[in-house]
Structures are given as structure tokens and as C-alpha cells.
Amino acid sequence: MKKKWTIAFAAFMVVLASSLFLDGNGIETEKTVIKFSDQVYRITLDFGLRPNIGVSAGPDGILLVDTGHQEVAGELISAVNQIKEGDIRYIINTHSHGDHAGGNKTCGGNAVIIGYDNLGQMVSEGVLTRGDGSNNFYSLDFNGEEIRIIPSPGAHSDKDLIINFTESGVVHMGDLLLTQSFPAVGPRVKKYLEILDWVIDEFPQGIKFIGGHGRDYSMAEVKDYRKMLMDSMKIVQKGMQDGKSVEDMKKEDVLKDYESWGIFLEFLDTDSWIASIYNSYKNE
């Protein structure tokens, strides 16, 4: 799957929306539309947890990666129509949570909806093909490029998919990448690190990552994110070795230097991350 991208990293990310505003923490606060290539975009609406929607728009029609909240599905359709008018032919859900799949019914119409549970069915119906050999992915040829759908369960949910727009050099990771907060993985930190390490090893340096929420990442930023996680984990694991409980470490505020990672999604604060690490490694 590795490719050499000849386009400079900064060159293929173009901000289209004049409504892009950042608060003091670098968090987008209005509707955002980002263009990555001739056909691949990211739309983020100013509602709820601001999930990131992937869009492929070209001669074959429109494909969405996730549909966001049901309450703003109509607004999403309007934003897509500003890129390209036409029917939505495919929807791929990175997972089934309501903030990512809530708009399926409104956006779907006659669209084929692809998710973890119906990948085999999509192959039997001729919509998708399987990867060659031992490669665990499914393929859809659309708008002049191969779109790879990679099952990656067991960390955020049991039905997560990673979507790779192979020619555009874009990967949508859904909630397997929360670029401005700690990961939402509960007591499955070890499995999450396995997936993150696979992503770092699998994709080339010039790739661009769309997370489920938050800003986009380069490969270097994914690596920095992993380092942040590992550094914070070492602090909690040291506390565990010293016999401290979750509550002890929360009271001591052992991750106070990492508080900025608990601002964007407040329910994923330092206390939550301490508990995730503790519960993932307590039996070792």
C-alpha cells in the first residue's frame, strides 16, 4: 500500500471555506470545508462533537465517509452540493455511533451504505472486491482511484473501519484518531497502540489523516501523537508500580502537563485517560 507522493505536503491541503475560525486552543469553531485533492474533501459542521465527514466528488458521483449527526444532515447535503451537485451514491461508515452514522437515512436516499457488518455482502453483490493474498482490506474503484476499506476492530469499537483514498493520499481513521484529545478506547489501550503502530508502518510520509474529530494530521503529527500517549502512559504506569490507585493519581493530578488534551472533548480529560491506562495494564 505504500506510495510515493510527489505533491508537496502543504500543497494539496487547500482551505475552501471562508468560515474557518479557530479559538484560542486552535479548535475550529465554524463550518469547515477542506480540499485535499481534485476529488477528496473534508466537511465539518458546527454542531455537537463536530465529526469530520470525508467526501469524494467526481465524475462517478458522490461518496461520503460518515454522515455525522442526524440533526444537521440537511446542512451536510447543502455543503456537499456546494462541492458538486448530484445524488450520493455511496456512504461508508467508519463505525456505527450516532455522531458518525446519524445522517445515513437523510443522506442515503438510493445510496449504497457500507459498514463493518455488510462487507462480505458487498463483495458478493459485486460492490467491493477483496484485497489480494493476506491483505485484510476491501476495495471500491470510484472517481478515478481505489478506495480501500480496512477493518480495524477492537479499540474504539468492535466495528471500526479505516478508509484510504489511495491516489489522493488521504486516510480517514474515524474515531481511531482523535487529533486534539486523548483516544476514546476505554480499557483497550494496548489494542489501540497496535492499530496506531500499524498505521505508522503502513502508510507513507506524505499521507494526510482525517480524524473522527479535530484537525487533520500529517504522518509526523501521528508519530508525535503516539509519543505523547507513550510519555503520559509512562507516568501512570510508574504510579501503578508504586502502588497508587486510579483515585490517588487523579488527586495528585499526575497528568497535569497534558491537560490541553482534555479540552476539545471534555469527557476525554486527564482523569479519563488515567483510568484507561490503569484498566488496560492493571493485570500485568
Q: Tell me, what's the pLDDT at 284?
A: 75
Q: Does residue 40 have a pLDDT over 80? A: yes
Expressed as residue numbers, the domain containing 169 is 9-233
Residue 156 lies in a domain: yes
The confidence score (pLDDT) of residue 82 equals 95
φ and ψ at 169, to 5 degrees? 70, 40
Candidates 69, 8, 15, 70; CA nearest to 42 is: 15
Asked if residue 260 is part of any domain, the answer here is no
CATH number for position 184: 3.60.15.10
- For residue 90, being part of any structural domain is answered with yes
CA distance readout (Å), 14 to 37, 193, 260: 9, 31, 27
272 found inside a domain: no
Given this model, what pLDDT does residue 262 score? 94
The pLDDT value given to residue 13: 41
Give the best-scoring range by mean pLDDT among 15-19, 29-33, 47-51: 47-51
Pairing of strands 88-92, 32-35: unpaired
Query: Would you say residue 266 lies in a domain?
Result: no
Q: Which residues contact 161 (CB under 8 A, 6 or more apart)?
A: 92, 93, 94, 95, 115, 116, 149, 150, 151, 152, 174
262, part of any domain: no
> In whole angstroms, what is the distance from residue 270 CA to residue 266 CA?
9
283 belongs to a structural domain: no
In the predicted model, is pLDDT for residue 279 greater than 50?
yes
66 falls within a domain: yes
Domain count, the chain: 1
Q: Which pTM value belongs to this model?
A: 0.90
